Chains A and B, each alone.
Chain A
Amino acid sequence: AQKVTQAQTEISVVEKEDVTLDCVYETRDTTYYLFWYKQPPSGELVFLIRRNSFDEQNEISGRYSWNFQKSTSSFNFTITASQVVDSAVYFCALSEAWTNDYKLSFGAGTTVTVRA
C-alpha cells in the first residue's frame, strides 16, 4: 500500500508566484516522522525539513513553509515568491518508528517548474 501520496505530478508557475505541494501519508504508528527532500536537476537529494508526529507546529524557513495536520494526515509544503532556482522534483517521505530502522517511504514526487 502506498504510504505517501503526492497527487500532483507536475506544477508549472511563473516566477514570484506561490506554489503549494500536497503530501498525504498513511500510517498506523503513533510515532512517525515526515520529511521533505528536494532533487534539483543535478540529481542529489537535498534535505529540507523533518517533523515528528508529536509536533504539529507549522514551520517557516525563509520562503519555505510547512503545514502539518494530523487530522487530515497531510504535510503540505509551500514555496512563497517562487524563483527559477526552485525548479526541482520535491519528495515527501515518511519514517515509522515501528520499523526500528526508520527507512524512508517516499512519495512519487512533484516536479516544479518555475518560469522566468
Chain B
Amino acid sequence: GAGVSQSPSNKVTEKGKDVELRCDPISGHTALYWYRQSLGQGLEFLIYFQGNSAPDKSGLPSDRFSAERTGGSVSTLTIQRTQQEDSAVYLCASSSTGGLGPDTQYFGPGTRLTVL
C-alpha cells in the first residue's frame, strides 16, 4: 500500500510569510507525528496526534507553530511569520496503535523548508 506522503517536497518562502505543510498518513494509522530535522538540532519531536486530538504539543518550538488533523487522516502543520531559524526538513510519521507498546513509526519523504 501507499506510504506516508508529504507536500510540498520543497518550499522556499520569505521571512514573515506563513506556510502550510501537509501530511497524508498510511491508511488506517491512527497515530501521526511531526518531527523536524535541522543541522543544529538533529531530529526533534514537534507534535503527536491520536485520531484528531493532539494530546502532546510539547515539542512545538513557539506559538507561531500550530497543527491540526481532520477526519483522523490528513494533518497540516502551519508556521506563521516564518523566521530563518525555521529552515529545516519537516518529517511526518504515522503508526497504528493498539496492542502493547508502540507500533513502528513510518516516515514520509519530508518537506524541505527554506526561509530567505
Determine if B102 is an interface residue (Cβ-Cβ < 8 Å): yes
A43–B110 touching, CB < 8 Å = yes
Task: Give the distance in Å from the alpha carbon of A50 to the alpha carbon of B89 in the complex.
Answer: 24
Determine if A64 is an interface residue (Cβ-Cβ < 8 Å): no
Task: Give the distance in Å from the alpha carbon of A95 to the alpha carbon of B35 in the complex.
Answer: 14
Interface residues of B in 45-63 (CB under 8 A from A): 45, 48, 50, 55-56, 59
Contacts of B44 in A (CB 8 A): 106
B109–A44 touching, CB < 8 Å = yes
> Which of A14-22, A69-77, A96-104 is found at the contact surface with chain B?
A96-104
Determine if B25 is an interface residue (Cβ-Cβ < 8 Å): no
Contacts of B70 in A (CB 8 A): none
Interface residues of B in 23-70 (CB under 8 A from A): 31, 33, 35, 42-45, 48, 50, 55-56, 59
Given A101-B56, A103-B33, A103-B48: A47 and B102 interface contact (C-beta under 8 Å): no
Given A43-B110, A44-B108: A105 and B45 interface contact (C-beta under 8 Å): yes
A35–B104 touching, CB < 8 Å = yes
Determine if A88 is an interface residue (Cβ-Cβ < 8 Å): no
A91–B55 touching, CB < 8 Å = no
| Range class of the B interface residue count | 20 to 34
Task: Give the distance in Å from the alpha carbon of A42 to the alpha carbon of B105 in the complex.
Answer: 19
B10 to A: closest C-beta gap in Å: 11
Q: Which residue from B48, B101, B104 sits with its C-beta under 8 Å from A47? A: B104
A106–B101 touching, CB < 8 Å = no
Contacts of A37 in B (CB 8 A): 107
B35–A104 touching, CB < 8 Å = yes
Residue of B whose beta carbon sits closest to that of A96 = B102
Determine if A84 is an interface residue (Cβ-Cβ < 8 Å): no
Contacts of B107 in A (CB 8 A): 37, 44-47
A99–B109 touching, CB < 8 Å = no
A50–B104 touching, CB < 8 Å = yes
A91–B101 touching, CB < 8 Å = no
Instruction: Name 10 extra pairs, CB < 8 A, besides A44-B107, A101-B48, A106-B43.
Output: A33-B101, A33-B102, A45-B107, A47-B104, A91-B43, A95-B102, A99-B56, A100-B56, A102-B95, A104-B33
Task: Give the distance in Å from the alpha carbon of A37 to the alpha carbon of B55 in the complex.
Answer: 25
